[in-house]
Amino acid sequence: MGVQDDLFGAPDEDAPTPVTPTAARRGGALPPSPHPPDPLDAPAASAAPLRRKAAAGICAQPQDEAMHALARRLPPTLRLGSSSWAYPGWQGLVWEGEHSDTQLSKNGLTAYAQHPLMRTVSIDRSFYRPLTASQFERYAAQVPDDFRFVVKAPSVVTDALVRSDDGRGREPNPAFLSPDLARSECVEPALQGLSHKLGALVFQLSPLPLAQLDRMPLLLDRLRTLLRALPALAPTAPDGVIAVEVRDPEWLTPDLAAVLRECGATYCLGLHAKMPPLQAQLPMLRALWPGPLVCRWNLNPVHGPYGYADAERLYKPYDRLHHPDLETRAALASVLSAVTGHGQNAFVAVSNHAEGSAPMTVRGVAEEVVKLAKR
């Protein structure tokens, strides 16, 4: 039994097994985008705000000693965080006082990064519109030196279908998996703007039409071409990693693992109702071991694969847990403990739609990791 078996549990087979397409396919239609683009950017920030309690009147919520003690017990290579930070309902959890989502979008990142458990954040707005190096630089200036960003590649590269105004895919996207666009519209600006604070670049491949899923070898060739064309991250961002997230279980095959390994990329563990549960995705991690872990916990399965709108209606203002998923927390903590215990980095971005309140979910995962360390 190899080390990957010890880490991720004894496998039923030595590599991931293909998953057959489901009958309930929507013909490639994409659900409406769950997160609207953030408002306009704040003016460029200097390094000075990092040493202040407040940015534009937004003060970090003081945390008790128990929270700080919990943070100190976590592995230094584990970075937990959320998807974005512009949530007024986090008052008393992340910041003091009442603030609008626009105010928080512009000026809340400094307060967010002062929370002892929040050491990463996923910049999801870059999925909807590519960001410039100067926009990334503004974000980097607002966080401590050991903070790391997870960045989503733009949909113009990762969507097989061009989205209409309602977020649904309507026609083939000629730029799907374009190496040139991936490099110029994502990797190069992120590296230039975030520098060593870049943690993971995530290429989330949105749900594919059934006709494309039936041509998986061609898709894998295109993905290989894209990944091999990307510049190396390590010279600028030593912790940086390229990760591929999928929303169709048909991708989970030994062939995908082979492409990622060949290109020096990794698999993004996607906890989403469209995908099999965490335990069923572990063969991909096992096939790519050793290496860093990237995880995005997106949507509680109680809402179904297209349930973002339902989750948003129920969970807003994201100030408490509605559907604690203790099983997923425990399974994720086990993987995180194993990966970081072997000196590898782990980047975890949790959505409010996972359980109802991302800061509370992050604390729950952190507590599970600490429990495992005591055993």
In tens, the pLDDT along 139-173 reads 999 999 999 999 999 999 999 998 766 656 578 89
Backbone phi, psi, residue 148, to 5°: -130, 140
pLDDT band at 211 (very low <50, low <70, confident <90, very high): confident
Helix or strand holding residue 200 (H, E): strand 198-205
Residue 21 binned pLDDT confidence (cut-offs 50, 70, 90): very low
Q: Which amino acid is at 13?
A: E
**CA gap 58, 56 in Å, rounded:** 6
The Cβ of residue 284 has, within 10 Å, a number of other Cβ atoms equal to 25
Helix crossing, 326-341 with 278-288: angle to 10°?
A: 10
Does residue 13 carry a pLDDT above 50? no
Query: pLDDT tens across 110-147, in order?
Result: 999 999 999 999 999 999 999 999 999 999 999 999 99
pLDDT tens digits, residue range 225-269?
A: 999 999 999 999 999 999 999 999 999 999 999 999 999 999 999
Prediction pTM value: 0.87
Q: Rounded to the nearest 5 degrees, what angle is found at the Cα of 267, between the Cα atoms of 293 and 165?
A: 115
Local structure of residue 347 (DSSP, 8 states): E
pLDDT of residue 9: 59
- What pLDDT sits at residue 36? 45
Residue 162 pLDDT: 87
Q: Are 136 and 103 in contact (CB under 8 A)?
A: no
Rounded Cα–Cα distance for residues 118 and 144 (Å): 11
| pLDDT > 70? residue 2 | no
User: Rounded to an integer, what is the distance from CA 362 to the centroid of its chain?
Assistant: 13
Mean pLDDT of all residues belonging to the chain? 88
Q: List, for residues 277-336, the tens digit of each pLDDT value.
A: 999 999 999 999 999 999 999 999 999 999 999 999 999 999 999 999 999 999 999 999
Q: Which of 41-45, 97-101, 234-238 has the lowest mean pLDDT?
A: 41-45
97-116 average pLDDT score: 96
Contact (Cβ atoms closer than 8 angstroms) between residue 227 and residue 192:
no
CA distance 99 to 42: 15
For the beta carbon of residue 68, count every other beta carbon within 10 angstroms: 12
Give the pLDDT of residue 210.
87
Q: Taking the domain 3-9+53-374, which CATH number applies?
A: 3.20.20.410
DSSP state of 305: T
What is the reported pLDDT for 374? 83
Question: What is the predicted pLDDT for the residue at 171?
Answer: 86
Report the alpha-carbon distance of residue 189 to residue 329 in Å, rounded: 34
- SS3 string of 136-170? HHHHHCCCCCCCEEEEECCHHHHCCEEECCCCCEE
Give CA–CA dist 326/311, Å, rounded.
18
Is pLDDT of 16 > 70?
no
Percent of the chain with pLDDT over 70: 83
SS3 110: helix
Q: 3-class SS at 327?
A: helix
Q: Find how far residue 165's CA is from the centre of its chain.
A: 24
